[in-house]
Structures are given as structure tokens and as C-alpha cells.
Structure 1
Amino acid sequence: GNEIVCYESPRPTAGIHRFVFVLFRQSVRQTIYAPGWRQNFNTKDFSALYNLGDPVAAMFFNCQRESGCE
């Protein structure tokens, strides 16, 4: 496949942050455009926009900034 948006590592400022990776299988070849803004990204709306259907896999993790980090 083609990379649409490059990976950005987590950079939490405070508190625990949840990250989710969702994999979809495209039924047809199509151009998918990178979202203009990543905060509050809505996976369900994105899937509906491109007719992606249900996810085939997902992975999540939590991270938290260590106190005293600069």
C-alpha cells in the first residue's frame, strides 16, 4: 500500500493519552487524502467517507509523559 500520512510519535503534555491504530481493507483502489487535522479525528466518519467498511484489525496503547521530562 501507499503511505498516506507519516507516523507521528506520541508527545503527551500531561495525563494519560490513548492511541489507536485501525486497519481497513480497501475493496477497490482509490485515492485517499490525508485529513487536514489529526486532533479529534473521527474514524467512523473517515471510514464512511471512503466506504471502507468495518476494520479488519486494531491495536491500541496508552502513554504518559514522565514527570521531570523536558
Structure 2
Amino acid sequence: MYKKLGREVVFYESPQPSAGIHRLVFVLFQQLGRDTVITPEWRHNFSSRNFAEINNLAPVAASYVNCQRERGCGGRRI
């Protein structure tokens, strides 16, 4: 990504897990044209596949993360 040419279109919203372990996936997309990116009005049930298709984006990289609250209830208990 060229930082000088890039523009944030949706601000970063940090994860806020209430309890247990949560899975997060961060995806970096490359914009295939010079079209304006249409941002979603809400993030509930967000589909990255639909977002990429609508905005002519291609996935370049991804990162998978597990997280939980620092003093959370932990994961599965056996």
C-alpha cells in the first residue's frame, strides 16, 4: 500500500469481546480501479465478499487473530 496515495474510508473500530474467545480476520484489499468506495452504513452481518465485489476490490493479504477480554471468562472449560 502506498500510504501517500491511500485514504481511510472506514475508521478502525477495535474489537470489544464481552466473553470468551473471538475470531477476527483483517483483510487488505487492492482497489482495481479509481472508483469511489461505497462504505457500509452499519457493520452488523458485514460481508467482505459483497463489499469487495461492489467496490471492485481484490484481496491482497489477510491476518487471522483470536482475542478475548484481559479478565475474561477464558475459553472452553472441560
Q: Tell me if both proteins adopt one fold, taking TM over 0.5 as the criterion.
A: yes
1:59 is aligned to 63
Identity of aligned residues (%): 55
1:17 lines up with 2:22 in the alignment: yes
How many pairs does the alignment contain? 67
TM-score (norm 2): 0.74
TM-score (norm 1): 0.80
* 1:3 partner amino acid: E
Root-mean-square deviation (Å): 1.6
Task: Determine the C-alpha separation between the residues in 1 that align with 2:35 and 2:25.
Answer: 23
Q: Which runs of 5+ in 1 are unaligned?
A: none
Q: Which runs of 5+ in 2 are unaligned?
A: 1-5, 74-78
Larger Rg: 2
Q: Which has the higher contact order (CA 8 A, sep 6+)?
A: 1
Task: Determine the C-alpha separation between the residues in 1 that align with 2:27 and 2:11.
Answer: 15
Deviations 1:30-55 (A, max 9, x none): 111221111221011111111223x1
